[in-house]
Structures are given as structure tokens and as C-alpha cells.
């Protein structure tokens, strides 16, 4: 019999990138901010960043992500900046 688990494994890096994407994109007014391009930026940035998995109890949420954020902030912004440059060159919504 399967019980519902009280724990979730999440990639904290992914949470952080989603949390920071709007702030970083605001510095690049030329980048398209539609949902598709925004998702592309997050995906491209995450491909350059090491995943940081944590097991969290449901409800506990992101208390640990603040620590990670200060540790990886510069890396995340760097990866996101590269991703934004790429998407600006070839926005998915204006391709084809
Ligand atoms: Zn777009």
C-alpha cells in the first residue's frame, strides 16, 4: 500500500533561478519577456549551473534557498546573462 510521502526532492537551483529571473531580465529591456522566452532563459541558465537537490518536508519550503542564493548568486546571474543574450539573438516567439 502506498502512502503519500511527506517529503519532496527539489532542485534548489531551479527555484532560485525562477525567483531571480524577473529581476535579472529587468536589466535587459531588449529581451522578450513572453512566457516562452522566459522559460528558455531559465532552461538555458539551469543547463550551465550545477543542480542542488534538497529534500524538504512538505510545507517547510525554501528556508535553505536563501543560504544557497548568497553562495551562488553571482553564478546564477552570470548564467542568466548568457542565456538572455542567446534568447535576445533568437527569441523563440519570433523564430521561423
Ligand atoms: Zn518571446
Q: What is the pLDDT along the chain (96 residues), one digit of tens a residue?
A: 556 778 888 898 999 999 999 999 999 999 999 999 999 999 999 999 999 998 888 776 555 566 677 889 999 999 999 999 999 999 999 866
Cα(58) to ligand 1 centroid in Å equals 34
pLDDT of residue 56: 82
Q: Is residue 58 part of a domain?
A: yes
What range defines the domain where residue 63 resides? 30-90
pLDDT of residue 75: 95
pLDDT of residue 65: 61
What is the spatial distance between Cα 76 and Cα 21, in angstroms, rounded to a whole number?
A: 9
Cα(88) to ligand 1 centroid in Å equals 9
Candidates 91, 83, 88, 92; CA nearest to 18 is 83
Q: Which residues pair with 56 in a beta bridge?
A: 8
Cα(34) to ligand 1 centroid in Å equals 4
Q: Is residue 86 part of a domain?
A: yes
For the entire predicted model, the pTM comes to 0.83
Q: Is residue 39 part of a domain?
A: yes
Q: Is residue 53 part of a domain?
A: yes
Q: Is residue 1 part of a domain?
A: no
Q: Is residue 19 part of a domain?
A: no
Q: Is residue 42 part of a domain?
A: yes
What's the alpha-carbon Rg for the chain, to the nearest Å? Answer: 15
Cα(78) to ligand 1 centroid in Å equals 21
pLDDT of residue 18: 95
Cα(56) to ligand 1 centroid in Å equals 33
Residue 17's alpha-carbon distances to 8, 79, 83, 94, 96, in angstroms, are: 18, 10, 12, 24, 28
Environment of ion ligand 1 (residues, CB < 5 A): 32, 34, 37, 91, 93
Q: How many domains does the chain have?
A: 1
- Cβ atoms of 10 and 66 within 8 Å: the answer is no
Amino acid at each position: 500500500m502506498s502512502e503519500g510521502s511527506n517529503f519532496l526532492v527539489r532542485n534548489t537551483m531551479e527555484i532560485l533561478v525562477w525567483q531571480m529571473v524577473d529581476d535579472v531580465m529587468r536589466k535587459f529591456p531588449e529581451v522578450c519577456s513572453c512566457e516562452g522566452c522566459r522559460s528558455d532563459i531559465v532552461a538555458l541558465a539551469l543547463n550551465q549551473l550545477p543542480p542542488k537537490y534538497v529534500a524538504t518536508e512538505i510545507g517547510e519550503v525554501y528556508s535553505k534557498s536563501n543560504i544557497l542564493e548568497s553562495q551562488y548568486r553571482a553564478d546564477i546571474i552570470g548564467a542568466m546573462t548568457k542565456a538572455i543574450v542567446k534568447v535576445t539573438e533568437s527569441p523563440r516567439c519570433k523564430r521561423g
